Amino acid sequence: MSHLSEEQLDQIIAEERSREQAPLNEWRTIAARAREEGLIRESESSRWWASSQPWLQSAAAVLLLVGGIAIGRTTIALPSAIEGPAVTSTPPASTASTAAASGSSGSVSGNATFASVDDASAALNRAVDAYQRASVFLAANNASVGSGDSLAMYSARAAALDKIENATVSALQSAPHDPVLNQYYLATMGARVATQQMVARPVVLRGF
């Protein structure tokens, strides 16, 4: 009977080592046990956050959205009108997301009124989703920034995000349970990691 060679077995082992696997338990199972043992402390702020209305959580998301736009505008000099030519010449795969972004922003702009808190929450969620997709699209397609400048742009963005991170970490030391600060912190960390990857390996920017 034939056998795998040692090298072939090593190859299979290497694949196994890097294989992604789902967690064995859900967090709520672990949390329930930890709560039983008194390892989780029920703080006032976490109780407030857990029991807060969805619209409060959505309001925090809007703060993130506005902050994100501000960061984006100050660090990459985003053109104020991107809809026109961009939509007409976008690649097919991106058209749907751009259209969705335009549609969503329309639904929450101007003097829109909402029939209920749920309506408003849904509109906020759509806006956040559209913002995230639009950001990804712009990062890949924004022709206003030449490829020669991309490294400088990402470096500037990384430096700005470092400052924001330092500020949120300082704030969190005084108010570790503040939900808005936590959201800012996590969003900043995520953006910083993504930006650092870009600095290390700048993407090839595609024009429209």
Partner 1 sequence: MPFDQLDLKRAIDGDERAMQRLWSQHSPHIDAVVRRLCDDAELAADISQEVWMQIFRALPSYRGDSQFGTWAHRIAVNRTLNALRKIRRIAKLEVDIEDDSAMTEQDSDRTFMAESIEQAMTKLSPGARAVFVLHDIEGYTHGEIGEELGITSGGSKSQLFKARAKLRKLLAHLMDESSTVVKGKGHVAPV
Residues that bind partner 1 (CB under 8 A): 1-6, 8-9, 11-13, 15-17, 19-25, 27, 29-31, 33-34, 37, 39-41, 43, 46, 169, 172, 176-177, 182, 189
**C-beta of 149 vs 178, nearer to partner 1:** 178
**C-beta of 6 vs 116, nearer to partner 1:** 6
8 A C-beta contact, residue 195 and residue 161: yes
| Smallest separation, CB 25 to partner 1 (Å) | 6
Pick from 40, 20, 16, 17: nearest CA to 28: 40
Pick from 64, 19, 75, 73: nearest CA to 198: 75
**C-beta of 6 vs 92, nearer to partner 1:** 6
Token pair, residue 115, equals 């029939």
**C-beta of 3 vs 201, nearer to partner 1:** 3
| Smallest separation, CB 76 to partner 1 (Å) | 25
| Smallest separation, CB 9 to partner 1 (Å) | 5
The amino acid occupying position 27 is W
| Smallest separation, CB 18 to partner 1 (Å) | 10
- What's the farthest any 2 CA atoms get from each other in the chain? 77
Token pair, residue 143, equals 């022709």
CA 157 to chain centre: 15
